A and B are shown apart, each in its own frame.
Chain A
């Protein structure tokens, strides 16, 4: 009863294929945005901003990028972090070498460069599929990081091979405190998420899904697989590139290429699997889950330790955290293989019928 869509009639195709066809969803999203843009900035602590919210949003953007590629277009990639690195290092160079370039344009430029690189490494997808492709994208992961380490130009010949993000200034306004950085990241992520949602409901998204479900059949009904797949790689890498730039500028500050290692790629892949493959919502849920879970575990262990005076050796605590983390991932995959987004869908079904069981 709480989530009843009866009585909401659609009389045009446009209304039927709207981003949020149901009124409750629109209200819900508006509420979430209200909380994210107004309530949180007024109430959250600096810790929450800089250690949880900002990385959560940035990684959600990267996960969204990967989800477009893997979840919608069906191309498995393990090179996400490398595309993020391209975005970060190219944004740095745009700002460094083009005086007066607007910050957002530099980020977009980083994203476009990442997209270009993504297209190159997407080419093999025309012939290779499945895990063979996944391992092949590892070539991108290792090769790109090697290039960034080797070619001094990318780091402005910094002797240690690191880049230090320039201050973020838009129209003379400097975003340097945690709440300001959060708002900037949030705005970019919100806009790009809406764009993604818009994309996947339209022609492009449907082409991708057709390719994902069966590429031979998609080809038969007139979808050009080359165009669709490469577009998926480009768009996905663009998202990752922007996320990578934000990761450097709004989160870490000074980064070495190693910050974008294979581990990060895996973490982002985790996010979409746990969150839900092929959903925009899943990227956000998964990112929150993967970022917050280890923190919650370690705080939990520390809390138990201090309240119960267990005197657990730190190494035991750390290992237990790791084991529980691994165990929970397996548990979630077994209980809900379609991810957290699926749980939300089930909840919606339940709410629709509430208070009746069926």
Chain B
């Protein structure tokens, strides 16, 4: 109700107020979604990003340059997202980078960002081959792509059975969201199945998949050692509950990170206990940077989440993770092009290609352990490739492993081949990263 009181006060003050000119501010458009089927995730993620931007501003900005942002509701819908992008990109002197947090919208923006020369980040989703910066100069799947996640998942399962060699002859079911998103990791799983000799069965779930008896009965028939759940939205809790109903042990289900948030397990209740998922960021408010957000941002009533108990939830820390990387990129760009200046999109892209969030730097930022070290370059727009695994104990996610990577060499080779094929199809000439350094 606070906003309502503020609204009243605001209306009284409207005569005297004026909109501040935003010429000396670094502008970031936020294509957020706070309504619709994925609203819970969207509000947490963009809330987290805004909270960190607010914190940076409270601490004096990036070398004095304040960050400004504007939101536009996409409802997770591709055409609305494209419209939002077109509407926001020219505001406040031009967008410096954009993050749609939706596979469909990202596809719609692929060519637009290249034409407009605005770097787009796709943190934790998007095309895995876009990690190849020489072919995709304007797209940044920062952190870890789906392919690296898939490899890390197999590495984790290998650990559980005492070495990847022991996966020989094991049965793994890959249960996936029947869409571009769900099909993305299949090439990596196929390659690893061929290498390690495990038996991979793929079972698609047609979204929204509100009932899954048939799929889980099939799983029970197959008696697999593990099930990898690559779902999104309501299908995750339904999968966990159906597994429980049919007596499949939850500790043998391994979820993708988009199946690994509170929103995915709480609806499943007790059935979700023992369920394991991947994650690209840690959870909780124990990190110094999260403490600062709680104290400074929420303490002064500037927090973005209405429900304060969600501060430090998975989606919230994902948003903070994204924001830290973006701010670091802008800071790197300023170090190179001039401190205290507003960076152009090209300069921000340079920054995004020179992120160096080492362990030491993460510690300085108070984010040690929040996400893995990230070091990007002209050719490598991913920078990390590491994932951690966590288990739901009924109340919180408990960390099972530190951040770890799978077979990155194999994934890297596949990314190179995939990107080369894409470049050939689109008749693109890849840039020469050797020259740019």
Contacts and interface: CB of A to CB of B under 8 A. Distances in A.
Interface in A239-262: 251-259
A192 to B, nearest CB: 21
A46 B103 CA distance: 24
Contacts of A306: 19
Interface in A272-321: 294-295, 298-299, 302, 306-319, 321
B110 A253 contact: yes
Contacts, number: 129
Contacts of A47: 86-87, 90
B233 to A, nearest CB: 13
B213 interface: no
Contacts of B410: none
B426 A149 contact: no
B286 interface: no
A128 interface: no
B360 interface: no
Contacts of B115: 176
Given A159-B186, A164-B426, A307-B14, A315 B34 contact: yes
Given A52-B83, A311-B3, A164 B425 contact: yes
B183 A314 contact: no
A199 interface: no
A163 to B, nearest CB: 10
Interface of B: 3, 6-7, 10-11, 13-14, 17, 19, 32-35, 39, 43, 46, 70-73, 75, 77-80, 82-83, 86-87, 90, 103-104, 107-108, 110-112, 115, 127, 178-181, 183-184, 186-187, 206, 304, 306, 418, 425-426
Given A162-B180, A309-B10, 13 more contacts: A52-B83, A146-B206, A159-B183, A160-B127, A164-B110, A256-B103, A299-B87, A311-B7, A312-B3, A314-B34, A314-B43, A314-B71, A318-B75
Contact of A321 (B73, B103, B187): B73
6 contacts: A149-B178, A159-B183, A295-B83, A302-B70, A306-B19, A313-B304
B107 A252 contact: yes
B79 A251 contact: yes
B43 to A, nearest CB: 6
Which 6 A-B pairs rank lowest in CB-CB distance, beginning with the nearest? A51-B86, A309-B10, A315-B34, A254-B107, A256-B180, A160-B180
Contacts of A149: 178-179
B10 A258 contact: no
A322 B35 contact: yes
Contacts of B183: 159-161
Contacts of B127: 160
B203 to A, nearest CB: 13
Contacts of A313: 3, 304, 306
Contacts of B32: 314
B10 to A, nearest CB: 4
Contacts of B3: 310-313, 316
Given A149-B178, A308-B10, A252 B82 contact: yes
What band does the interface of chain A fall in when counting residues whose beta carbon is under 8 Å from B?
Answer: 35 or more
Decide if the interface of chain A is mainly helix, strand, loop or mixed: helix
A308 B11 contact: yes
A111 interface: no
A176 B17 CA distance: 43
Contacts of A176: 115
Q: Give the interface centre of A251, A298, A316, A318 by most chain B CB atoms within 10 Å.
A: A318
Contacts of B72: 298, 302
Contacts of A164: 110, 425-426
Contacts of A314: 32, 34, 43, 46, 71, 73
A53 to B, nearest CB: 11
A321 B46 CA distance: 19
Contacts of A258: 104, 179-180
A247 B159 CA distance: 47
Contact of A252 (B33, B79, B206, B304): B79
Interface string A324-350: 000000000000000000000000000
Contact of A51 (B6, B11, B83, B107): B83
Nearest to A247: B79
A161 to B, nearest CB: 5
A122 B10 CA distance: 57
Q: Give the interface centre of B39, B180, B187 by most chain A CB atoms within 10 Å.
A: B180
Contact of B184 (A159, A309, A312, A321): A159
Contacts of B418: 159
A65 interface: no
Contacts of A310: 3, 6-7, 10-11
Nearest to B110: A254
Contacts of B14: 307-309
A55 interface: yes
